[in-house]
Structure 1
Amino acid sequence: MAEYRPGGRGVRAALIRVACRVFVRTTLAWWPLRGPLSRLMPVVDLVMRPVPRLRATEMRRVDGGTWRGELVAPRGGADATHGALLYLHGGAFVFCGLATHRRVVERLALRTGLPVLSVDYRQLPEGGLDASLADATDAFRWLTARGTDAGSIVCLGDSAGGHLAFAVALETRRAGLGRPAGVVGLSPWLDFASDAQQAHPNARRDVFIPARRLARVGRLCTGTPKGAAIDPLRSPVNADLSGFPPVLIQCAEDEVLRHDAELMAERLAAAGVPHTLQVWQGQVHAFPVLAHALPESRAALDEIAGFVSGVLGTRRTPQPGAA
């Protein structure tokens, strides 16, 4: 049963919805996924790099070989042996990175009092889904190699990163690396079978994602030829979820990936996995990332911090500057 969060009627939320409808959805609908222009996708992250960091946090750069990362913690440090967050950014496996998601990562560190490893994993055209998952799993391994128990790590991500958060929890079990403490998906893209999404009423309402592009991106990142069906097992909703860690899913009421969130909630319930699905009114896709701009996004991060505290069995101690 979904928990509904009313709101999103303020001026800021309305302006963000309009901006997404006019600029983001239009760009995502027509920007080429192959060819010279597709190589400009990293510019999105480059543009965000000058944004100043929050003074209440500190950052250490991580070189994982095929991936890069930033380990962000409250200033003065945080003991990773007490737990850590593994953050996987969204961007449809084609754009965004450490800079675009810096502010949400910083606020998560401050709200939880824990270090957060933000991962810049390989994306198209450099690598497909297998490369992305390999990097995300190796980042999980990096945390455990430095003293954080697998059972004290919470995997979370938005959109495509939400897909990876679920996929990492499945992969670590398969590889014998241990089970994470929990998984958080922010508007996670969990089902590559895009027919259901395109038929969903939110395919017309979503101001952010053009539903018709999902099939194309899904085929590219999984290496599926045009006209062929994507292997259902590439979608976390079709995995064996028995023994999966507790889950929190947040999505917007009118976004097309609400389909994925609700389907995953159904599958988790069938597998007996503790989970919470929150459906937030008046918001856009992956809205918690916008915590620097929206009070509803900050409230969503508070919910995440509460979930993290619950699965780790720790007392939540927000740090100064978490607002």
Structure 2
Amino acid sequence: MTEVSNKTAVDPVERAIRRIQSVYGSWNRNTSVAQMRSDWDAAFAGCTVPESCRQASADGVDGEWIVPADAPRDKAILYFHGGGFRLGSIASHRDLIARIADASGCRVLAVNYRLAPEHRFPAALEDALAAYTWLREQDFKPKDIVLAGDSAGGNLVLTAMLSLRHRGEALPAAGVLMSPWTDLAATGESYLSRATADPIHQRSMILALAKGYMGDGGDPFDPLASPLYADLVGLPPLLIHAGDRETVRDDATMLAEKAKAAGVDVELKVWDGMIHVFQMFSEIPQAQTAMAAIASFLRRHLRLEAERVR
């Protein structure tokens, strides 16, 4: 006999929003950054995918290998988590990262880069570059590495590539950006047009996070802080996903437009009705579709075998 609930089913996007708001709602002016980080990690910790996880130190940067069964030893995804450069960790993003590893069949090195305000720009970027250099020292070739990240982590994907290009070093095979935060000056029209639709981020919050990352005298138009203002010529192929409900949407769409104009191979998808980094919530059907698209892109650019039978 099947039990029928008399409760109205909650839309999975709205359920995800309530989950996020329950964390934000517990904070006030007196909540410490340390408490915020602890609350965020606790709210999103856990992993629904049974992957092998192993601690690593990537040239002194705390990291973790998340490895699916039968993953090739010579291919790697380097993942940078989001959180406005203030929150987030491997713990809060382990499920998302593990699902990327599982869907693509590729091992992932996730790193805990230094966070602001204790460690301001360019500390996070320095750690991202250190992790990439460490991968190279482990005999991973650039053509066998893809950089991936969400929100602030998407920023680091781009700024790491720009830094490597400036140094004359070989760039990774491609980049995956989920709701990338590319404009710390928050100039996009979506900061106004999506203010009502976005239940999570408002422009004032974004600017406060930017100030925390850059410091009082920091320049939000610095291309290594806001890659939207960089010369993007020569970057590898990029996959960019954003949600249509998020205020940060235009950070993705403006970047895609500029990258295409610079001759970069760009795949952009703006998902109707979706929120910031909706891929974190596996219960959202569109998140599953997005994950399949991400896996296909990764497998193509890492030249992996045909997708495994599920």
* Both proteins in one fold, TM over 0.5: yes
Partner residue of 2:130 out of 118, 135, 138: 138
Please give the alpha-carbon distance, in whole angstroms, between the structure 1 residues aligned to 2:78 and 2:180. Answer: 15
Corresponding residue for residue 5 of structure 1: none
2:79–2:109 contact (8 Å) kept in structure 1: yes
1:69 aligns to what?
A: 63
- Alignment partner of 1:179: what SS? coil
Residue 13 (1) aligns with residue 5 (2): no
Aligned letter for 2:33?
A: S
Which residue is equivalent to 2:144?
A: 152
Check if 1:242 corresponds to 2:233: yes
Amino acid at match of 1:16: A
- Measure, in 2, the Cα distance between the counterparts of 1:174 and 1:119: 23
Counterpart selection for 1:200 from 189, 192, 201? 192
Q: State whether residues 74 and 113 of structure 1, in contact with CA within 8 Å, keep that contact through their aligned partners in structure 2.
A: yes
Q: 1:301 aligns with which of 285, 291, 298?
A: 291
TM-score by length of 2: 0.88
- Structure 1 equivalent of residue 53 of structure 2: 59
Distance 1:138 1:184 in 2: 19
Using the aligned pairs only, state the percent identity.
30
Work out the CA distance in 1 between the residues paired with 2:48 and 2:16. Answer: 22
Cα distance in 2 for residues equivalent to 1:13 and 1:54: 21
**Counterpart residue number, 2:99:** 107
- 1:236, CA displacement in angstroms? 0.5
In the other structure, the counterpart of 1:79 is: 72
> Matched residues in 2 for 1:161 and 1:167: separation?
10
Does the aligned pair in 2 maintain the 1:192–1:230 contact within 8 Å? yes
- How does 1:181-220 map onto structure 2 within 5 Å? 181-196=173-188, 199-220=191-212
- Give the structure 1 partner of residue 85 of structure 2: 93
How many corresponding residue pairs?
301
CA distance in 1: counterparts of 2:153 and 2:246, whole angstroms:
17
The code of the aligned residue for 1:79 comes to: P
Relative to structure 1, the CA distance from residue 100 to residue 316 in structure 2 (aligned partners, 3 Å threshold; closer, same or farther) is farther
Residue 16 of structure 1, CA deviation: 2.2
Offset of 1:199 from its aligned partner? 5.0
Using the TM superposition, give the Cα deviation of residue 315 of structure 1 relative to its aligned residue in structure 2, in angstroms: 2.9
Residue 33 of structure 2 is aligned to residue 41 of structure 1? no
Q: How many Å separate the matches in 2 of 1:198 and 1:269?
A: 20
**One-letter amino acid matched to 1:121:** Y
Q: Could you list the structure 1 runs, at least 4 aligned residues long, displaced by more than 4 angstroms after superposition.
A: 24-27
The one of 270, 274, 277 aligned to 1:283: 274
1:3: which partner in 2?
none
Q: CA RMSD in A?
A: 2.5
Helix, strand or coil: the match of 1:62? Answer: strand
